[in-house]
Amino acid sequence: MIGNKSIKMVILRNIPIILFIAIFLIFGIFSPKFISVDSFKNILVSSSYVGIIAIGIMFVLLTGGIDLSIGSVMYLSAAVTGLSVQKLQVPTVLAIIIGLGIATLVGVINAFLIVILDILPFITTLGMMVFVKAVGLLMTKSESVKLPKVITSMGSQSVLGIPMPIIIFAIIILFGVLFLGKTKLGRQIYAVGNDVEEARKAGIHTKKVLFTCYVMSALFAGIGGIISVAQIGIVNAAFGKGEEFNAIAAAVLGGVSLAGGVGKVFPGVVLGAVMIQMIQAGLVFMQTDLYKQPLISAGIIFLAVFLDSIRSKYIAKAEKRNIRNENKGLQ
Amino acid sequence: MKKRVSLLLALVMLATMFVGCADKKGEEGTSTSTSSSEGGSKTIALCTEDLETEFWVAAHKAIVDTLEEQGIKVIETNCQGDANKQLEQVKDVITQNVDGIIVIPKDGDTAVAVTKEANNADIPIVIFNRPPTSDEGANITVVCDNATVAEACVDYMVEEAEKKFDKTGEKLTPLIMVGDLGDPNAIARKEGFYAAIEKKPELFNKVIEVPTEWDAATALANLQSAVQANPDVDFLFTSSDFLFPTIQSVLEPLGKWVKVGEEGHVIMGGLDGDATAGELIDEGIIEGTGVQDVYNEADLAISGILDAIEAGETQPDEIREDPGFALTQGNLKEKRMDMWGNILREQ
């Protein structure tokens, strides 16, 4: 009996992974080529940049905030990197550092406006979304910016058979997991997200926590931008447009609460980012009608979120029951 | 401290506004002075959707430069892809008593909505490059026949496919990268592609459709999946030239980004006629591209609006069509410099 219960709990806790595998296998039944290492590798490569920016925005979402400027930051940092090489003949590595520096600077400005001047995150980052994009367009004059071969070839380079975007994605995942799980500042982010006042009373420097989150969100957007452009090959003026919503969707699908305080990098956000890409890839593999693809994709995502919410309720109930039973046992 | 910083920020913002206004005043001053010498005191509003592709940038420049050369004051707005904002901007320019409006609409529905506003205000309006979804209201629609231009380009690709088929006896596997399904131009290009393909069905396997939503990242991910599922793709049409660098990212590692006639070459074509496509045709990587003649379209729009203003017509209603053409490896010598992308490259 106890064994059954614990099996149920194991299944409940792992519903997202089970669903992920089920979707993968279902697409595989309809299109056998889908179940292959290469196919999965491609899905991971394609979802790597969304995964990176989703991990970045997760820090902000965990605090109950939001960052709408990340799509524009992707554009600006990629454009600055390209222009630094093209116009100023800066070495590629330095150009990347400049691009990421610009992204970090945007994060610092966001953080300053939100944390120090107490302006609402939604308004601040919405304003920055427009401002940063405008700065980028002013610099490029809406023209496409070509990045040097060193960067664009990174999209197709491999180390020990593992594509470079996946390696960078894995490093970011590892960083996110360790930072949130093993560092004091990481754990404080959850505390601030659960209740900022309580966190302050508990002695947490909440401003420092919030500041860090907005800076990291922008920095990760910059990294995501470079990874994306390494694959696309060119920065056009539409680059990064709407990516903030893809990142938020991946994070929420991965179980991050928009109210703050809840969410994990792995499997959570990573699974969310990869699942969205896997569904899209599966539909292309199956050659589903173009008009039906968004409908099916949205349906599967709704199903995933619905199952996840049921799962969370069951787990919460089961845990309450366990605490009551333990208390009774103690009495 | 916080108050001081806020005050400082407010001052910085005010200063930015003043600088911006000063710049604008300068620009307007130049425009007005030319205006008094040549074109009277006409004011035309140019309401753009966004400036995110080379085509829109070239169209914007061609229209603004030509109007200003004629001494006409231009009021510009940019809705950054927001249909509601565009409608508000058109209402706004109407209150500024402009003599005419040229709109690059966000979509076909927005074209109908802005036409209605201009008609109500008795101001002539030109709808540029994106046709309205209904013929409600009166406007001058300047449009390229996307279906015909796409068909012309794919016709040439089919000719090349036929040569390959005759050599190998193997059917080709065609792939089309489809644009945003909400954009009538994307649909017309898809129709043009199929019209050409269906002339020689015996040459082809089933067509593979790849959605792009006019987004390079989406296009990349979906093309990678499509090519993996169908590694024998050897005939590729992109509904917009701006996706060629993305296509290169997918085909190059597979050894398929090679010149016409080389082993593994994929027969490729696009539509727009931008500088990248120009380069690729010159290099012999792609077979051709369908060209929307942006300069011709700009001329059609400007002459349309000015003729209406001169004639005192407040609700002109006509369609002015840019026939477009296909620039291919076959007609490169004669038509190379008719393509706007190549003109931009030369500049």
- A317 in a structural domain: no
> Of the spans A159-163, A315-319, B131-135, B236-240, which averages the highest pLDDT?
B236-240
**B35 pLDDT tier (thresholds 50, 70, 90):** very low
User: In the structure, what pLDDT confidence band is assigned to residue B309 with cuts at 50, 70 and 90?
Assistant: very high
CA distance to partner chain A, nearest, from residue B279 (Å): 14
Q: Is residue A200 part of a domain?
A: yes
Our CA-based measurement puts residue A41 at a distance from the nearest CA of chain B, in whole angstroms, of 11
Q: How confident is the model at residue B23 (pLDDT cuts 50, 70, 90)?
A: very low
Residues on chain B touching A149 (C-beta within 8 angstroms): none
Q: Is B248 in contact with A31 (Cβ distance < 8 A)?
A: no
Instruction: Measure in Å the smallest separation between the Cα of A280 and chain B Cα atoms.
Output: 7
Judge whether A307 lies within some domain: no
In what helix (H) or strand (E) does residue B295 lie, and over which residues does it extend? Answer: helix B294-311
What amino acid is encoded at A79 in this protein? A
pLDDT, tens digit only, all 331 positions of chain A: 556 777 877 787 778 788 889 889 999 998 888 888 888 898 999 999 999 999 999 999 999 999 999 999 999 999 999 999 888 889 989 999 999 999 999 999 999 999 999 999 999 999 999 999 999 989 988 888 888 888 888 777 888 889 999 999 999 999 999 999 999 999 999 999 988 889 899 889 999 999 999 999 999 999 999 999 988 888 888 889 889 998 998 998 888 888 888 888 988 899 999 999 999 999 999 989 999 998 998 888 888 888 877 877 777 777 777 666 666 655 5
Number of residues in chain B:
347
Q: Does A243 touch chain B (CB under 8 A)?
A: yes
Nearest residue, CB atoms, B52 vs list A38, A116, A237:
A237
Residue A203 covered by a domain: yes
Query: Is the residue at A3 inside a domain?
Result: no
- Confidence category of residue B134, pLDDT binned at 50, 70, 90: confident
Alpha helices in chain A (DSSP H): 2-13, 15-30, 37-62, 70-86, 92-111, 121-140, 149-152, 164-182, 184-194, 196-201, 206-232, 243-253, 270-285, 293-330
Instruction: Quote the pLDDT of residue A18.
Output: 86
Q: Could you give the domains of chain B? A: 41-143+294-322 (3.40.50.2300), 146-292+327-346 (3.40.50.2300)
Query: What's the structural domain count of chain A?
Result: 1
Domain that residue A168 falls in: 49-247+258-265
Structure tokens at A189: 């982010």
Give a yes or no: residue A279 inside a domain: no
Identify the pLDDT of residue B21.
46
Q: How many residues does chain A have?
A: 331
pTM: 0.80
**Cis before A267 (ω within 30):** yes
User: Alpha-carbon distance B267 to A140, whole Å?
Assistant: 32
Answer yes or no: is the ipTM higher than 0.95.
Answer: no
- Classify residue A296: in a domain, yes or no: no
What per-residue confidence (pLDDT) applies to B188? 92
- Give the mean pLDDT of B243-252: 92
Out of B5, B211, B276, the one facing A293 most closely (by C-beta) is: B211
CB contact under 8 A, A156 and B253: yes
Domain for residue A4, yes or no? Answer: no
**Distance, CA of A327 to CA of A272 (rounded, Å):** 37
